[in-house]
Structure 1
Amino acid sequence: MIPFFVAIFLLGLSSLATAANFNQVFALTELDYEWPSEASRAQALRDGTFKPENVYPRYMAVYGTRLFLSLHKDEGIPVTLVSLPTSSASPKLTPFPSRNMHGPGDCDKIEEAKGLEVDSVGRLWVLDQGSISSNCSAKLLIIDLANKDQIKIIHRFPFRRWLHDLVLDETPDGTFAYITRSIEQNIVVFSLERNESWMVDTPGIRAYAIALSPKDQEARQLYLSEWNSNQQFSVSVAALRNGTRTANLNPIGNWTAISSFRMLMDNHGTMYAAFFQENHIFSCNTSQPFQEQRFHQVAGVYTGLPFTFALDQSGTFWMTVFDDKKKPRYRLLKATVGAKSYTFEASQVSE
């Protein structure tokens, strides 16, 4: 049983998150890359290798004064992993970690970036599921943001395609990544220290959105949502760390919306979820029985996947809003919520 004063404290945090006031950083009709020259941009527009109307943010991470986005791979999108400053009202998308690290058909380069996460020591973890037209296997890149963006690890998986998102489990005995695959009845576990990965079956469940309970929770839980379903599941990570090959998922509640594509946990146990074809973000306090609240709603957004979001190291919630039906198409919003990412302990809260 949660002590009374702890329950009141958690309720207060949940109320704070629900009442967050968002400020607009930018609102733009078009997002453009940073190009080597104006001539190279003009050539890309002429030959169709760049089509500004197809720029579509899907995943986000934040570190310091930089925001990182994975873009949906579509025709005319030459680079799918970019960075941009958190303070600019009219930013350019900078290919990350460099333009030369992107290109189809080269298995040593980034072909289609997907889920992103920053760990507690400033490393960016990037999923790359490869190109439809190439034979490159899916891979995981770890880039040291605090050390001149050096690529530290490239781990290749024994399969192609269908990566979705990841969370990081940093323990005294090592760091693990848990990764969802959008059409498979399994998740992937990766051990950083061993540079080794393995499949964990999720019988009957195609896990899609993923979140992890806070670092200082005694019995840490992995949360999973299934595509085309409103059910929410959890599983203890202890067995995943020890190499189990089958996860026994426990249903813990039902969202009112169907198909969550992105979930995010803060370091006090509040989980945020965005859904396919929904113009609002839900939140729930995972320290209590499952009960959702509306965290933020945007009027008139009709795009299938309108939001992506992340928490930074100073207690700020960052969110992009994409609306393909009206202008401006792109907005970046931020709100102070007094909580950090789940990768930090609960005592590490911004003033």
Structure 2
Amino acid sequence: MSRSMTPFFVSVFLLGLSSVATAKKLTRLVYEWPDKMDCEWPSKATRTRALSDEISIEPHFMAVYRTRIFFVLKKYPEDTPAKVVVSLPKSSGSSEPPRPNPFPSLDMYEFGNCQKIEEPSGLAVDSLGRLWVLDRGSSKCNSKILTIDLRNHDQTKVIHQFSFHDWIHDLVLDETNNGTFAYITRWDEQCLVVFCLERNESWIVETPKVQSFAIALSPKYHEPRQLYIGIYSHVFGEWNSNELLSISVAALRNGTRTAYPKLIANLTGEPYRMVVDNRGTMYAGFFNKNYISSWNGSQPFQEQRYFEVARLDSYWPFTFSKDQSGNIWIMAFNENKAETRFRLLKVTVGAEQFWDPACCTCTCLSSP
């Protein structure tokens, strides 16, 4: 049996008490990389210049569109600059896992070059098939937003240049009848950034005593629509804060310059990544935790263990996203070189679930 088809066990917890508890979920292993996550480099010389055996590569952020998955590969140690957005097919006819391809091409990336992508971070796809990429910039270049048109030969365009550089982390898109808005977090800053595409205008929204990091948006049909915020740190409070807060996005759309996020509850960890599916269930991944939690936003707060791995060897062990059908895609990372290091899984809502009653785990079947 090929590596990409090897059965493998994870713990997946149903969302009891939530409105989606009756929707069964099937978790499938799509790919696994036993050793390292490596790009499809144009040549051996290019790879040698970019990497060495001492450099570790981790997948961060994620976006899914049609047949492709996108995420950011980050290289460690930190003094080896350049992150790269890469793409993978959702499925492959090969027995070996595919190598990610720098997207749209490796030539688009160069640290210290303001005309190229220096430090990609947050990713999102809009309804028109445009991949939005946050670029942190550098000490020489301001941060910016780019779009890559996935329906039109991956044409790339810088759509906005900010007046600042660095410290931006993630974004979510809010598509309305009155325009498209992006909400962006700036870690280590007590604010959010709002960008309006149609006006090509951005502004700072002060959030006194709250430094936002993880961010997610409730579904369109949940009005008033809420922006969920995970805290990087709480000013004048504990450095590692587990608070989950929310803001009604109506005020953000209307240009407010100050907002006061409301406390929902305390989570079991400090979130670095949050996603809300089409049914209003939020998923959160935490620093230094071996699990992803969930919460049905239409119910009183009750955090549930949704997905976990047996071992934890990474400070940032998961990245995940939803696709246009509401399925959840998860990349699980393990630094232990004696074990499989990367696994890509797909969680399909509405499929039949196969349970191991002895340990309440589900068996991940072969690639769909």
Partner SS for 1:206: strand
Q: CA deviation at 1:338?
A: 4.7
Q: What's the counterpart of residue 310 of structure 1?
A: 321
- 2:97 is aligned with 1:90: yes
- 2:120 is aligned with 1:113: yes
The superposition leaves residues 38-90 of structure 1 with CA deviations (integer Å, 9 ceiling, x where unpaired) of: 34334x2xxxx313642111111111111111122544565521112222442
Whether the 8 Å contact between 1:223 and 1:232 is mirrored in structure 2 is: yes
Q: What's the counterpart of residue 130 of structure 1?
A: 137
Aligned counterpart for 2:205 among listed residues 192, 200, 209? 200
Structure 2: distance between partners of 1:336 and 1:61: 16
What is the correspondence of 1:223-302 to structure 2 with a 5 Å cutoff? 223-227=228-232, 228-257=240-269, 259-302=270-313
Structure 2: distance between partners of 1:104 and 1:152: 18
- 2:330 is aligned with 1:330: no
Whether the 8 Å contact between 2:214 and 2:272 is mirrored in structure 1 is: yes
Q: CA deviation at 1:226?
A: 0.4
Whether the 8 Å contact between 1:25 and 1:334 is mirrored in structure 2 is: no
Partner SS for 2:252: helix
Structure 2: distance between partners of 1:81 and 1:87: 19
The superposition leaves residues 248-271 of structure 1 with CA deviations (integer Å, 9 ceiling, x where unpaired) of: 2110111122x1000000111000
Q: CA deviation at 1:21?
A: 2.7
Structure 2: distance between partners of 1:172 and 1:336: 30
Normalising by structure 2, we get a TM-score of 0.83
Letter in 1 for 2:74: H
Whether the 8 Å contact between 1:79 and 1:95 is mirrored in structure 2 is: no
Structure with greater strand percent: 2
The superposition leaves residues 123-166 of structure 1 with CA deviations (integer Å, 9 ceiling, x where unpaired) of: 111111023xx410111111111111112443111111011111
Q: What's the counterpart of residue 51 of structure 1?
A: 52
Letter in 1 for 2:33: A
Greater shift, 73-82 or 210-219, is seen at 73-82
- 2:26 is aligned with 1:25: no
Partner SS for 1:175: strand
Structure 2: distance between partners of 1:40 and 1:239: 48
Partner SS for 1:57: strand
Q: What's the counterpart of residue 156 of structure 1?
A: 161
- 2:232 is aligned with 1:222: no
Structure 1: distance between partners of 2:257 and 2:22: 39
Q: What's the counterpart of residue 4 of structure 2?
A: none
The superposition leaves residues 218-240 of structure 1 with CA deviations (integer Å, 9 ceiling, x where unpaired) of: 21111101022111111111110
Aligned counterpart for 1:66 among listed residues 60, 64, 68? 68
Letter in 2 for 1:180: T
Structure 2: distance between partners of 1:311 and 1:107: 31
Letter in 2 for 1:56: E
Partner SS for 1:291: coil
Number of residues paired by the alignment? 323
What is the correspondence of 1:131-146 to structure 2 with a 5 Å cutoff? 131=138, 134-146=139-151
Partner SS for 1:244: coil
Letter in 1 for 2:52: K
Structure 1: distance between partners of 2:204 and 2:145: 15
Structure 1: distance between partners of 2:27 and 2:43: 39
Q: CA deviation at 1:98?
A: 1.4
Partner SS for 1:256: coil
Aligned counterpart for 2:185 among listed residues 171, 180, 186? 180
Structure 2: distance between partners of 1:156 and 1:279: 37
Partner SS for 1:325: coil
In angstroms, what is the RMSD of aligned CA positions? 2.1
Structure 1: distance between partners of 2:23 and 2:108: 41
- CA gap of 1:193–1:160, structure 2 versus 1, over 3 A, is same
Q: What's the counterpart of residue 4 of structure 1?
A: none
Whether the 8 Å contact between 1:51 and 1:76 is mirrored in structure 2 is: no
Structure 1: distance between partners of 2:43 and 2:73: 22
Letter in 2 for 1:68: F
Identical positions, percent: 54
Partner SS for 1:13: coil
Normalising by structure 1, we get a TM-score of 0.87
Q: CA deviation at 1:302?
A: 2.1
Whether the 8 Å contact between 1:107 and 1:136 is mirrored in structure 2 is: yes
Structure 2: distance between partners of 1:324 and 1:98: 27
Q: What's the counterpart of residue 8 of structure 2?
A: none
The superposition leaves residues 293-337 of structure 1 with CA deviations (integer Å, 9 ceiling, x where unpaired) of: 011010012210000001112342111111112422111111202
Partner SS for 1:21: strand
Structure 2: distance between partners of 1:12 and 1:249: 26
